[in-house]
Structure 1
């Protein structure tokens, strides 16, 4: 890692402990500036019985991964309906519980505001699926979803590499969001509230898109479609080894997953009001750059 790296390491080995004090900005400050918090020794240890569940054949062929809605307890994406399904549910719920414990010490100011927790078990090797370019996550992007507008919410994700064969998960991590937006916001098509209303009325979107959602979707697509940006844009490659954990706001940190297999991913939604520095949020950055007042 270089001095300008956007990967910030922390020496922590216990999900239920606070990280030791270290010079520099706080974890919250680093996260809200779009950095990736990296815990090289924070492993999520699997039992022999759990290791046996790391089989891509257990994933529904129609889905990329297995997911647990931690609020409702509903597990989706599992092709079997026997004891293995219950074991997978217990595994991913244990990961959810571990991430809550970690965040309670790391970013305690966020904890009460985190909601809509979704835990994903990714068993396929990157590249197994051949998606369209818009869904190709080996291309640098920020997270934005056509059918699920986020509005005034942030997307916080906690990843862990559980590969049992020693294979790292390789990412590319891009630049700060402010300069990223300066590249991709100019030329964006104007927001049409009437179209957003119609798409929601027709159930194309789960909620009504805001001007912010409209801009973020364009940034997502323009980033992925720009071959020069993908090849030559400001970025760094980084390998997350087995047994490591990393955290970022995936709606702010440009990222691309290049290689790897077997990962746990915890997603939380969080309102802007929970941020220490909401002015650094993508919502406020896009509002300023698009000239749309205090919100985009």
Structure 2
């Protein structure tokens, strides 16, 4: 795996903030995947009923809780059932936050909680457009939701009850990936970011960093030869495994699996241990100029 993202394994068996402090910001900022094979998210007996795709609204990709409103979306059921499902996802959010603060003490006071999600639907066989096809290697970037350089820290956990792994592919390091496609990417049209925001196509102004990240996302997903033959490795995350990654930096593809928890955190790159290792910092260094 010398030419692809590294997987770094840890023996931790507790989510608690008072467990062993890791201080492993340098590893995750270098684009590694941090794997905890002995860190399950344990469902109580009542919550095990939710290990069924029937709870997911057919129109939604995932069941999620939006913060700070604590609003449940994408699920169907009675009021009591939805309250129990919401509580389960909320508990995962709390445990993930405690874990992140323990692993990355430098981020304390700077991490912002994003959406929490439960994914009960099997990844394999889902029909979608090539841009939304997460079985293709990609870095996370969103057309309507510009991140303006904010990092996407994600905590995943496989809660599959049938012994089935979450199957990923991981690709080449971000810098190598950027070098692959940057020569094909020009600058955004003058005024385009203003127009997209004015027409409410984007939620906020799309920076040049956002523009480049979207182009990297789309170039990779549209490139069949890249998907087939670029440096990559398969990684199976067994049930009971938790893994943590900057998903805007690590090339990844979800190839198979069902029943997973996911928590997103936002982190301004300025609050990293080394902000220059962020995708925006890497792009600026490769281009030899500041991105605005």
TM value normalised by structure 1: 0.94
* Structure 1, unaligned runs of 5 or more: none
Q: Distance in 2 between matches of 1:159 and 1:174?
A: 18
CA shift for structure 1 position 111: 2.7
Q: Distance in 2 between matches of 1:128 and 1:235?
A: 22
- CA-based RMSD: 1.7
Aligned twin of 1:84: 81
Q: How many corresponding residue pairs?
A: 291
- CA deviation vs aligned residue, 1:6-62 (integer Å, no higher than 9, x gap): 1000010011153477xxxx5211100110000000011111211111221111111
* The 10-residue stretch of structure 1 (10-19 or 237-246) with the greater mean CA deviation from structure 2: 10-19
Are 1:12 and 2:12 an aligned pair? yes
Aligned twin of 2:243: 246
Whether the aligned pair in 1 keeps the contact of 2:15 and 2:98 (CA below 8 Å) is yes
Aligned twin of 2:33: 36
Aligned twin of 2:290: 294
Aligned twin of 1:228: 225
* The 10-residue stretch of structure 1 (87-96 or 111-120) with the greater mean CA deviation from structure 2: 111-120
- Cα separation, partners in 2 of 1:218 and 1:75, compared to 1, 3 Å: same
- Cα separation, partners in 2 of 1:4 and 1:235, compared to 1, 3 Å: closer
**Regions of 4+ moved over 3 Å:** 1-5, 17-21
Q: Distance in 2 between matches of 1:286 and 1:3?
A: 19
Are 1:198 and 2:195 an aligned pair? yes
Equivalent residue in structure 2 for 1:100, among 97, 101, 105 = 97
* Structure 2, unaligned runs of 5 or more: none
- CA deviation vs aligned residue, 1:201-256 (integer Å, no higher than 9, x gap): 00000001000000110000000111111111111111000000000000000000
Q: Distance in 2 between matches of 1:12 and 1:273?
A: 28
**SS of 1:112 mapped into structure 2:** coil
- Cα separation, partners in 2 of 1:3 and 1:190, compared to 1, 3 Å: closer
- CA deviation vs aligned residue, 1:122-159 (integer Å, no higher than 9, x gap): 00001242010110000000000000000030000000
- Cα separation, partners in 2 of 1:185 and 1:2, compared to 1, 3 Å: closer
**SS of 1:129 mapped into structure 2:** coil
Q: Distance in 1 between matches of 2:2 and 2:95?
A: 30
